[in-house]
């Protein structure tokens, strides 16, 4: 069996790798010498990226528990030690709890929360093994600031992300001392194909609050290197919102209710 020192490259598994934050993170990790296993649904996009990065491909829908179990088992067969898991797969679910379709509410929970739990549990033995030989291994959860601030224009999304943040925070506490570090990344509005951002941010005043996926990828890497538990990117103004929710949750939710979300990106 390979130990961390004899292995040439550290192994990273990235979900939602076909676009957006997942893709940017995979690119950055590959540039820094990590061996990446890319997971997403769209095989053609994934294969193109994999051949560009010299990475591996696993086509998998994280919303399908059996598929996640099969995929993680096949990854562990090839890589008994996984140094890093980046849970980046996620979907947007717009609308309020008064009008969002019930199927969408459920789907958001499955993809954004349960899929992340299944993937993590499926790979946990490999992550623990890497921590035993290498001293440290990492699980990074790409949540959202919508997981720390109630965001009614995409309420089912926000609820699923709150669940995911709670998962990530409590898993960190549970794995303390095992060498496995769990990091929670809470991005604000990011320009990606899957997530169009509200009109208010198209104006000159809003633009600084929208970042590219590369910024989030950089934060993932720096969290892994520094051991940071939680990072809001960019901290301003989103960090203030998270604090506001702890102090005056009702007012915070009410203020954000009126955000204008476009129908199409």
Partner 1 sequence: MGRRSLNAGHLRYVWPVQRVAVITGASSGIGEATARALADRGWHCVLLARREALLRRLADEIGGEAEPCDIGDRAAVETTAGRILARHPSVHALVNNAGIPARQSFADVDLDLVEQVARVNYLGGVWLTRALLPALQPAPGGTRTHVVNVASVAGTVAFSPSGAYTAAKHAQLTFSRSLQASLRGSGIAVHSILPGFVETDGFPQRALLEHRLLRHIVVQPERVAETIAKALERRGREVVVPWFPYRPAILLSGIAPGLVSRVGGRAVARSRAFQAKAAAAPPERR
Q: Is 39 helix (H, G, I), strand (E, B) or coil?
A: strand
Helix then strand then coil, % of the chain, to nearest 5: 50, 15, 30
Q: Is 157 a catalytic residue?
A: yes
Which tokens go with 134?
């290498």
Q: How does DSSP assign 3-22, residue by residue?
A: -TTT-SS-EEEEESTTSHHH
Tell the smallest beta-carbon distance from residue 8 to partner 1 (Å): 30
- Interaction of residue 106 with partner 1, rule CB under 8 A: yes
- Interaction of residue 165 with partner 1, rule CB under 8 A: yes
Sites for partner 1 among residues 34-73 (CB under 8 A): 65
Contact 22, 185 (CB under 8 A): no
Query: Nearer to partner 1 by C-beta: 36 or 130?
Result: 130
- Interaction of residue 138 with partner 1, rule CB under 8 A: no
Query: Nearer to partner 1 by C-beta: 1 or 247?
Result: 247
Tell the smallest beta-carbon distance from residue 79 to partner 1 (Å): 20
- Interaction of residue 163 with partner 1, rule CB under 8 A: yes
Phi and psi at residue 252, to the nearest 5°: -60, -45
- Interaction of residue 117 with partner 1, rule CB under 8 A: yes
Q: How does DSSP assign 146-178, residue by residue?
A: GGTS--TTBHHHHHHHHHHHHHHHHHHHHTTTT
Q: Quote the crossing angle between the two packed helices 155-174 and 102-109, to the nearest 10°.
A: 20
Tell the smallest beta-carbon distance from residue 48 to partner 1 (Å): 33
Residues that bind partner 1 (CB under 8 A): 65, 96-98, 102, 105-106, 109, 113-114, 117-118, 120-121, 124, 150-152, 155, 158-160, 162-167, 169-176, 229-230, 242-247, 249-250, 253-254, 256-257
């Amino acid at each position: 069996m390979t130990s961390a020192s004899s292995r040439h490259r550290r192994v990273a598994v990235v979900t939602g790798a076909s676009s957006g934050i997942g893709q940017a993170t995979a690119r950055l990790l590959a540039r820094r010498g990590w061996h990446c296993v890319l997971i997403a649904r769209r095989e053609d996009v994934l294969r193109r990226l994999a051949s560009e990065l010299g990475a591996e491909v696993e086509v998998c829908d994280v919303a399908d528990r059996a598929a996640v179990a099969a995929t993680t088992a096949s990854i562990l067969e090839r890589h008994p030690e996984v140094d890093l898991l980046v849970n980046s797969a996620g979907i947007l679910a717009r609308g309020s709890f008064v009008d969002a379709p019930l199927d969408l509410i459920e789907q958001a929970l499955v993809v954004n929360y349960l899929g992340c739990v299944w993937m993590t549990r499926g790979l946990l033995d490999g992550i623990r093994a890497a921590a035993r030989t290498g001293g440290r291994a990492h699980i990074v959860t790409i949540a959202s600031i919508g997981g720390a601030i109630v965001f009614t224009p995409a309420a089912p999304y926000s609820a699923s992300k709150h669940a995911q943040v709670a998962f990530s925070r409590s898993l960190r506490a549970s794995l303390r001392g095992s060498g496995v570090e769990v990091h929670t990344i809470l991005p604000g509005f990011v320009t990606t194909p899957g997530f169009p951002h509200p009109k208010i941010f198209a104006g000159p005043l809003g633009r600084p609050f929208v970042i590219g996926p590369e910024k989030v990828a950089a934060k993932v890497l720096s969290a892994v290197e520094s051991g940071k538990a939680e990072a809001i990117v960019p901290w301003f103004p989103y960090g203030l919102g998270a604090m506001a929710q702890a102090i005056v949750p009702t007012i915070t939710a009410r203020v954000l209710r009126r955000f204008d979300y476009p129908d199409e990106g």
